[in-house]
């Protein structure tokens, strides 16, 4: 994601008016999950200063700083003293359909496995962690296999519900060949110990935003859901078609032609005589001439 991430963490890159991670925080809130722990590190002050205690979003946010980048298992381990019974774990750089959270919470409450892992089917699983199932239970996880050697087309989405047993397994997880503590290795320890690691297959949408074009794709998809609102100033001679959100302090000058959906942040100066195409997003303090 460089150079976009030179100034901020990837999870704070804006998509349709919000940082990527805010969509997940709001999705958790809408499913009744109010106590949230954010594991931070790189440029963590940006995350802390933006979300603060989470009260303005209707949640309670706590923070833990991952002192060294030692993998997903190490990061999840910071949640040990945060929970009483179970926790939902999400990667910070995904955006998912809120219905996924609703359905996995319901599934977990009914079946009570030690771990529930959300799976989705892809055509080529070779770039992902691929699972082998026995019924609904995961019996093997293979990281990035060759396509012809993959045990299935079902991949790990990075969305989990764990009970406290995961922390015992994290403590026993050894460093992987790439020098990190991998949560999939911790899950393999659970499987070897006879714990129930359930796979939950979903067809709902989710996107792992790891590349610039994925940022563009999800921005376009989310912009198609915005509701137009004019909080700024629009001069005479401006033409607007479709949904346009214009935030406070922003100005559309005469001769501007906008084809929505378009999101324009605070204190922007657009025009004169500019054409803004659909699915465009402008952050705060942008000048288009």
235/163 same-domain check: no
The confidence score (pLDDT) of residue 285 equals 96
The confidence score (pLDDT) of residue 68 equals 86
137/86 same-domain check: yes
* pLDDT per position as a tens digit, 174-226: 988 888 898 889 999 999 999 999 999 888 877 888 889 999 999 999 999 88
CATH of the domain at 36: 3.90.550.10
Structural domain for 259, as ranges: 227-288
Mean residue pLDDT of the chain comes to: 91
Percent of the chain with pLDDT over 90: 64
209/236 same-domain check: no
123/32 same-domain check: yes
Q: In whole angstroms, give the CA distance from residue 100 to residue 96.
A: 7
Cis peptide before 272 (omega within 30 of 0): yes
210/281 same-domain check: no
88/146 same-domain check: yes
56/178 same-domain check: yes
The confidence score (pLDDT) of residue 158 equals 85
Mean pLDDT of 23-46: 94
194/212 same-domain check: yes
> What's the half-sphere exposure (Cβ side, CA atoms, 13 Å) at 180?
14
Alpha helices in 32-182 (DSSP H): 44-51, 72-77, 98-111, 165-172
67/188 same-domain check: yes
Band the pLDDT of 87: cuts 50, 70, 90: very high
The confidence score (pLDDT) of residue 153 equals 84
Q: Identify the top-confidence range among 52-61, 137-146, 192-201.
A: 52-61
- DSSP category for residue 265: -
* The last residue of a domain, from among 201, 222, 243: 222
* The last residue of a domain, from among 205, 222, 239: 222
115/184 same-domain check: yes
> Among 11-20, 57-66, 257-266, whose mean pLDDT is lowest?
11-20
* The last residue of a domain, from among 188, 222, 256: 222
* pLDDT per position as a tens digit, 228-266: 999 999 999 999 999 999 999 999 999 999 999 999 999
110/144 same-domain check: yes
180/214 same-domain check: yes
Band the pLDDT of 148: cuts 50, 70, 90: confident
Band the pLDDT of 120: cuts 50, 70, 90: confident
Mean pLDDT of 104-111: 93
Domain total in the chain: 2
What is the torsional sign of CA 153, 158, 162, 166?
Answer: positive
């Amino acid at each position: 994601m460089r150079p976009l991430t030179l100034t901020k963490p990837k999870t704070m890159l804006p998509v349709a008016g919000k940082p990527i991670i805010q969509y997940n925080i709001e999705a958790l809130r809408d499913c009744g999950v109010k106590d949230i722990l954010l594991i931070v590190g790189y440029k963590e002050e940006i995350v802390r200063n933006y979300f603060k205690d989470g009260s303005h979003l209707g949640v309670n946010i706590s923070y833990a700083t991952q002192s060294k980048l030692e993998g997903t298992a190490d990061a999840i381990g910071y949640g040990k003293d945060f929970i009483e019974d179970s926790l939902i774990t999400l990667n910070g750089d995904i955006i998912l359909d809120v219905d996924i959270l609703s359905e996995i919470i319901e599934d977990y409450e009914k079946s009570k496995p030690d771990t529930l892992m959300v799976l989705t089917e892809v055509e080529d699983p070779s770039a992902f962690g691929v699972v082998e199932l026995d019924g609904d239970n995961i019996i093997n996880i293979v990281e990035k296999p060759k396509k012809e050697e993959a045990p299935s087309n079902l991949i790990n989405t990075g969305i989990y519900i764990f009970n406290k047993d995961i922390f015992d397994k994290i403590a026993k997880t050894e460093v992987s060949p790439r020098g990190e503590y991998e949560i999939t290795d911790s899950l393999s320890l659970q499987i070897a110990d006879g714990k129930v690691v359930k796979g939950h297959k979903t067809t709902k949408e989710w996107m792992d935003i790891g590349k610039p074009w994925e940022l563009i794709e999800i921005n376009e998809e989310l912009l198609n859901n915005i509701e137009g609102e004019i909080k700024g100033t629009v001069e005479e001679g401006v033409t607007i078609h479709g949904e346009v959100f214009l935030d406070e302090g922003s100005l559309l000058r005469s001769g501007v032609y906008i084809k929505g959906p378009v999101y324009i942040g605070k204190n922007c100066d657009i025009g004169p005589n500019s054409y803004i195409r659909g699915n465009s997003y402008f952050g705060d303090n942008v000048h288009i001439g």
